[in-house]
Every structure is written in C-alpha cells, then in structure tokens.
Amino acid sequence: MDIVRVGNKSIDKDRLYQIIDKIIDMRSKGVSQQDIADRIGTDRTFVSRLESLGEVRKGDSVAFVAFPVENKQEIIEILDRYGVNFHLVMTEEERLAFVDERSGRELLNSIMDWIVKARQCDTVVIFASDKRSKLIEALVDCQVIRKHIGASPITRGVYIPSQDIIEVLNALQYNREG
C-alpha cells in the first residue's frame, strides 16, 4: 500500500491508479464518459479531464526523429509504410559527417529547417538520448512522445527494435495502409 498524506486526508495511491486504469480500460471499450462517471461516483467532466491529461495525439500528422541508429533502413521502411509525414533518422556516421561537413551557418540553417518541419506536425516521436530528446521536445510546439535509447552522449549506433516503433505508431492509430 502506498499511502500519502494530503492535508488532513490519507490517499491510497495504489487505489487511485487502479481506478484510473479501470476508467481508461472502460473508455477504450466504448463505455461513455457519463456511464463511467455514474459507476465510480464522480462527474463526467472528471473523466474528460483525465483523458485530456493523458492524451498523446491529436490530429493526423506525425514526425519521427531518431539518432544515432544502427538500423536506419529498417526504420525508414516502417515509417514509409505508416505514411509518417516527416522523418529525420541518422546513423552515428551520418550524424558526425553532418556536423563536420558544414559551416556554422549551414548547420544552423539545416537544423532550423528540420525544426520548422517537425513543428508543422501534430505529434513528434523521438528515439534519442535522454538529453537530446529533451532538447528536441523543447524546440517543437506539439505533442511529443520520447523514447530514450541511452544516456548522453551516445557515441555509436543503437539498434531500435522495429516492434518498438510499430507499437508507438499503432498506439497513435497512424496506420495509413490500405
């Protein structure tokens, strides 16, 4: 039992999490917000607000950023199959060459172009190091899903299982196939 004191109340966090899980489970099965509110003894707006707090996607466009990766081609094939609007996927070698082969002005312009493209999307999915993913999240003005692939600095490509990417895209209901 994980109980915390809030003012003069004792709150069972485990019970609270179970109720939230039950609400989300019922909503995913099509139970209306009002029916759930009636069952658990709250008002419909609570259920609505709870959904809003956990929402990770609105709209149709998705950007995907991942670096440094080992399996770039495999990732791009998945993104293409799902119709992702914009992607930036780099191996460690490409990332180093990108920085080494450009002047400061070219580097800044390229990064700014990428930021503009990502910001035009409703959701940005990021598979990167802990620090890089936080930085990217701060630069875009939309929903962000971060998946850390290691602690900064990452100095070699990381293999990202295709299932990890597919799970995120499926959770976003972003499959445009067929």
Q: Give the pLDDT mean for 96-104.
A: 95
Q: Give the pLDDT mean for 26-35.
A: 89
Beta bridge partners of 11: 4
Would you say residue 175 has pLDDT above 60? Answer: no
pLDDT of residue 76: 97
Would you say residue 172 has pLDDT above 50? Answer: yes
How far are the Cα atoms of 20, 25, 60, 102, 143 from residue 49, in angstroms, in the given order? 12, 16, 22, 47, 17
For 114-137, write each residue's pLDDT tens digit.
Answer: 999 999 998 999 999 999 999 999
Q: How far apart are CA 175 and CA 161, in angstroms?
A: 18
For 32-69, write each residue's pLDDT tens digit.
Answer: 999 999 999 999 999 988 888 876 545 578 999 999 99
The overall average pLDDT reported for the chain is 90
Would you say residue 178 has pLDDT above 70? Answer: no
pLDDT of residue 56: 56
Q: Give the pLDDT mean for 152-159.
A: 95
Would you say residue 25 has pLDDT above 80? Answer: yes
pLDDT of residue 57: 47
Chain position carrying tokens 């850390």: 148
Q: How far apart are CA 37 and CA 120, in angstroms?
A: 36
Q: Is the pTM of this model over 0.75?
A: no
Which amino acid appears at position 53 of this protein? L
